[in-house]
Amino acid sequence: MGKLVQVKNVFKSFGDVHAVNGVSLDIQEGQFYSLLGPSGCGKTTLLRLIAGFEKPTSGQVFIDNTSMDGIEPNLRPTNMVFQNYAIFPHLNVEENVAYGLRNKREKRSDQNKLVDEALELVGLSGLNKRSANALSGGQKQRVALARALILKPKVLLLDEPLSALDKKLREQMQSELRHLQRAVGITFILVTHDQYEALTMSDRVAVMFDGKVAQEASPRDLYELPNSQKVASFIGEMTFIKGEIVSENKNLQVQSEIFGKINIEKSRVFGQSSKKMVLGIRPEKIAIVPKTSRSKDLISGKIIDVSYFGETTNYKVSCGTTETLTISSQNSVGQLSYSVGEEIQLKADMNNIIAFSI
């Protein structure tokens, strides 16, 4: 496994708009790689730069150690699944899937076999003659996948392929895509604005803001060790508390109103350490404990807001300071529920606190 796609210091401007603003990425062969970010962060432009639909203002894209400078989209070893699927409306399923084979000079009988295999791969066997206009959104998506995969590209590019589907189908397609990627072993690059989609499907994720990569990591690291407040609050939820550095040696000792004096490992400190820091903790790393429990690091507070999500309940808790904590509690067997105004005790997992410089 080596680096298959390399993006080297790529900039792309449209007039005054700097869509991609100095991005460098290495994508390993066989990876499921996601470009995650809010709309307008440049992720789609980056994907289109890899596909060849856009030319970088400066910088280079390499695929398989070959520079893609001046290589048109039709000659690149990439295929794309478009956001709106771009199924050719005047062709049927079979003709759509076989579209790219025309230039590969395959024999007619081989072509038919390849089309059947591709349709089977995406679960559309037998729909060969179905008209493109008679397909549902999910089926169009599958045709788009088959049409791209039949050409055995080195890289499959997916531009928000699931955003037009309803929630149930989207979740089903997420797991199918993941299985498909493992089955064919092709490198997938997925563009998405949905953080859960990126986390569940990818081997690696690059989070982009304002044309730059803010963090590039595995899904677990991205969630557990976000390197900035912006990444932390884009991926899931995080509560931020003001703190001040008391001492700094092997660990960082930080004083805050709610947590008191705590030690934070250097590996969990991001940015320049200055006197003032921000402490971050995920809502599920805080638990509500029985009132009878006695321990020195318990935090007492009062519930000021309850949001019920079915499998979880989120509580906003005031701890006698200006700041509030958000707690996410699984509604599993035996879990008590609390209501607004109740006095409770909390236990925070201090090992999971992250410190950010302001």
Partner 1 sequence: MNRSNKYLKTFAITYLIFLYAPALLLPIFSFNSSQIIAFPLSGFTTGWFKALLYQETLHEALRNSLIVAASSSIFATILGILASRAASRYYFPGKQFSLTFILAPLVLPEIIVGVSLLIVLIQLGLPLNLWSVVLGHTLLIMPFSILIMNSAFNNLDISLEEASLDLGETPLGTFRRIILPLVYPGIMASLLLGFTLSLDEFIIAFFLTGTETTLPVYIWSLFRFPKQLPATMALGTILIFVSLILLSLGEYFRRRAAKTQTSVL
* 6, 64, 111, 151: which one binds partner 1 (CB under 8 A): 151
Q: Cα(329)–Cα(336) distance, rounded to whole angstroms?
A: 10
- Smallest separation, CB 11 to partner 1 (Å): 21
Residue 70 lies near partner 1 (rule: CB under 8 A): no
Q: Does the protein bind partner 1 through residue 72 (CB under 8 A)?
A: yes
Closer to partner 1 by CB, 103 or 267: give it.
103
CA distances 345 to 17, 76, 256, 317, Å, are: 50, 59, 18, 10
The values of phi and psi at residue 229, to 5°, are: -60, -35
14 binds partner 1 (CB under 8 A): no
- C-beta closer to partner 1: residue 74 or 292: 74
At its nearest, how many Å lie between partner 1 and the CB of residue 44? 12
CA distances from 292 to 311, 337, 346 (A): 26, 16, 12
DSSP annotation of 351: G
Total residues interacting with partner 1, rule: CB under 8 A? 25
By CB under 8 A, which span of 60-68, 86-94, 237-245, 262-270 interacts with partner 1? 86-94
**Residue 52 in contact with residue 71, Cβ under 8 Å?**
yes
Q: Is 80 in the site for partner 1 (CB under 8 A)?
A: yes
Residue selected from 147, 193, 204, 316 as contacting partner 1 according to rule CB under 8 A: 147
Please state the closest distance from residue 80 (CB atom) to partner 1, in A: 5
| Interface with partner 1, residue 99, by CB under 8 A | yes
- Which part of the chain contacts partner 1 (CB under 8 A), choosing from 63-71, 100-108, 271-279, 311-319? 100-108
State the Cα angle at 159 between 154 and 164, rounded to 5°.
Answer: 135
Interface with partner 1 includes 46 (CB under 8 A)?
A: no
Min separation Cβ 153 and partner 1, Å: 9
How many C-beta neighbours within 10 Å does residue 153 have?
19
Taking the C-alpha atoms of residue 116 and residue 135, their distance in angstroms, rounded to an integer, is: 17
Residue 184 in contact with partner 1, rule: CB under 8 A: no
Contact call for residue 84 and partner 1 (CB under 8 A): yes
- Residues in the chain, overall count: 358
What residues are paired with 344 via a beta bridge? 301
CB within 8 Å of 17: residues ≥ 6 apart:
none
Q: Check if the beta carbon of residue 346 is closer than 8 Å to that of residue 317.
A: yes
Segment lying near partner 1 (by CB under 8 A), choices 95-103, 198-206, 291-299, 338-346 = 95-103
Among 3, 30, 71, 82, binds partner 1 (CB under 8 A): 82
Select 55 or 102, whichever has its Cβ closest to partner 1. Answer: 102
User: Shortest distance, CB of residue 35 to partner 1, whole angstroms?
Assistant: 18
Residue type at position 270: F
Amino acid at 171: E
* Choices 76-84, 197-205, 233-241, 295-303; region in contact with partner 1 by CB under 8 A: 76-84
81: left (phi over 0), alpha (psi -120 to 50) or beta: beta
Nearest residue (CB) to partner 1, 87 versus 180: 87
Determine, following the binding rule CB under 8 A, whether residue 83 of this chain makes contact with partner 1.
yes
- CA dihedral angle for residue 127, residue 128, residue 131, residue 133, rounded to 10 degrees: 60
Q: Is 293 in the site for partner 1 (CB under 8 A)?
A: no
Give dist(CA 51, CA 211) in Å, integer: 17
Q: How far apart are CA 39 and CA 274, in angstroms?
A: 32
Could you list the residues that contact partner 1 (CB under 8 A)? Answer: 51, 53, 72-75, 78-80, 82-84, 86, 88-90, 99-100, 102-104, 133, 147-148, 151
